[in-house]
Amino acid sequence: MKTHQTDRTRPRQECAHHRPRRLRATLLALTAASGLLLTACGAGDGSSSNTSDASNHTGFPAPAPATTSGGDNSSEQDGEQTGTPADKIAPSPDYLSTFALDVDTASYGYARRVLADGGRPDPSTIRPEEFVNSFRQDYERPDGNGFTVTVDGARTDKSNWSLVRVGLATRTADDNAERPPAALTFVIDVSGSMAETGRLDLAKKSLDEMTDRLRDDDSVALVTFSDEAETVLPMTRLDGHRGKVHDAIDELETQSSTNLGAGVETGYATATEGLRKGATNRVVLISDGLANTGDTSADSILERVADERRDHGITLFGVGVGSDYGDALMEKLADKGDGHTAYVSDDADARKVFVDQLPQNIDLTARDAKAQVAFDPETVAQFHLIGYEDRKVADDDFRDDNVDGGEIGPGHTVTALYAVRTRPGADGHLATASVRWLDPDSRAPHEESGQLETDALHDSLTDASDRFQVTAVAAYFADSLRSGDLPGNPGLTELATRAHALAKKTEDKDVRQLAEAIDEAARAD
């Protein structure tokens, strides 16, 4: 199965009515005149996925600038009826989908915690992209900064509906590789709610392990907050001072209420005061997100530190803890703070986030990264991006480098999954996916793209690579916890069977945990 090549794309948004035939003909004329070659694939199925610089114009269609229009209904136009649950997905107003990249995983981690405790996660906390991005993928990786683009797909049991996977991968994370020094400001919640087992004690253990893994040239500062915020340790170079950092961590004790706003503001002020030029400057916020004193709005909290974020490029890494967790606030803080979130419920999670994933959580390979997928109106009747509701970007802003995107580190993969309804008998070009990002140092823009043809779709999900199947199971699981209207969703019982089979085949403990979480959800259903 194939996929690839590159070129420049153009913007607009996803999901809703079709353009009239006349507009579609215009779009095709424009795309034929543009240029974009790329075939993408899943690396696990023996196929290849090549990329090349977006400035090299080639002979395949690039997405044209989108225009708004009324549209004829896709099912009427095709003479085909879409039944429940597929009819809950709105037809598309145009054929472009644009979003900021996101590597958050907290939604999945917290859902696992709630299910393990015998509960059922609130549907409002379920973000499918965070389920999908919690698992290892099979994408080819670039040698330097930037991304490779992989596009593949498989047909589902629902007539004419397929799942299309857009995969973006950065270079491999390497503990021993050269990287800029890190200047990390730990902002620790020491409010009364953090006294619960598995909160502050887990945070302290995590910070101790992370401190031991950082390099001598890295720097650490420590800020605590309860009803007020305090800088416990100013920015301190680790070389010869690790004991000083450990002592400050060991002395952390819970106090009273949660003034998260004061903590973030003091954290950024401390990070700015200890700013290191040429270093990765990051605030690491560890909290249960249960703000109850002072400013509790993510927008206004980060507006007060906007200058530090924009002028100095200080990013935010949020780590959630606790069985009662303020997911919405933590997720919004990370989005507004040009960063990402993870959730830690036990020692294994903590080791994964603070030790195993240390390089990708402290280094940057891309700033303001955005993706745009252009579907071919000749072959695609309808499409739906699964998740990313909070990360949508206006299509016309795809190449506006002043518009925020996602900050991505080494070792990260970003996966976007689409439900796509193809036209009956469709044959030919199906979709082109492009990613645009800024170099973390020079801020020079770059692009890569990938392409998928209809004949490259696998005949069924079980024919796809193991990693594609895990992606599909994770997305259907999130859908089951949230709405259950994704075409081809077989339900929790069948998903559990598939997940256990994949766990055995891949010998991946993360997939085994996914199977166990689905089991728990099925029992609670």
433: tokens are 């996916």
471: tokens are 């992606």
The reported pLDDT for the residue numbered 175 is 74
Most confident region among 29-43, 298-312, 482-496 by mean pLDDT: 482-496
The predicted model gives 232-247 an average pLDDT of 96
Confidence check: pLDDT of 29 > 50 = no
The predicted model gives 165-175 an average pLDDT of 92
The span from the first CA to the last CA of the chain, in angstroms, equals 38
Q: How many CB atoms lie within 10 A of CB 51?
A: 24
Of the listed ranges 42-46, 96-100, 186-190, 232-236, the least confidently predicted one is: 42-46
Confidence label for 491 from pLDDT (cuts 50, 70 and 90): very high
pLDDT digits (tens, 9 = 90+) for 432-441: 999 999 998 8
Confidence check: pLDDT of 26 > 80 = no
**Which residues on neighbouring strands pair with residue 406, listed in sequence order?**
369
The predicted model gives 184-194 an average pLDDT of 94
Quote the CA–CA distance of 105 and 470 in Å, as a whole number. Answer: 15
Confidence check: pLDDT of 54 > 90 = no
Q: What is the pTM of this model?
A: 0.81
The predicted model gives 425-436 an average pLDDT of 96
335 half-sphere exposure, CB direction, 13 A CA radius? 20
Query: Higher pLDDT residue, 6 or 322?
Result: 322
H/E stretch holding 511: helix 509-524
Confidence label for 358 from pLDDT (cuts 50, 70 and 90): confident
The reported pLDDT for the residue numbered 22 is 36
Confidence label for 50 from pLDDT (cuts 50, 70 and 90): very low
- DSSP secondary structure code for residue 118 in this structure: T
The predicted model gives 319-328 an average pLDDT of 91
- DSSP secondary structure code for residue 435 in this structure: E
Confidence label for 1 from pLDDT (cuts 50, 70 and 90): very low
The reported pLDDT for the residue numbered 18 is 37
The reported pLDDT for the residue numbered 10 is 35
512: tokens are 């085994």
Confidence check: pLDDT of 19 > 60 = no
The reported pLDDT for the residue numbered 178 is 83
The reported pLDDT for the residue numbered 89 is 52
**Which residue, 309, 216, 293, 218, is CA-closest to 260?**
293
pLDDT digits (tens, 9 = 90+) for 359-418: 888 888 999 999 999 999 999 999 999 999 999 999 999 999 999 999 999 999 999 999
Task: Quote helix, strand, coil % in the chain, to nearest 5.
Answer: 35, 20, 45
Q: What is the mean pLDDT of the chain?
A: 83
Quote the CA–CA distance of 350 and 126 in Å, as a whole number. Answer: 21
Quote the CA–CA distance of 31 and 276 in Å, as a whole number. Answer: 46
Q: Which amino acid is at 385?
A: L
pLDDT digits (tens, 9 = 90+) for 251-265: 999 998 889 999 999
Cis peptide upstream of residue 142 (ω within 30 degrees of 0): no
The reported pLDDT for the residue numbered 370 is 98
The reported pLDDT for the residue numbered 313 is 85
The reported pLDDT for the residue numbered 80 is 39
Asked if 232 and 223 count as a contact pair (C-beta separation under 8 A), the reply is yes
The predicted model gives 75-95 an average pLDDT of 45
The predicted model gives 231-248 an average pLDDT of 96
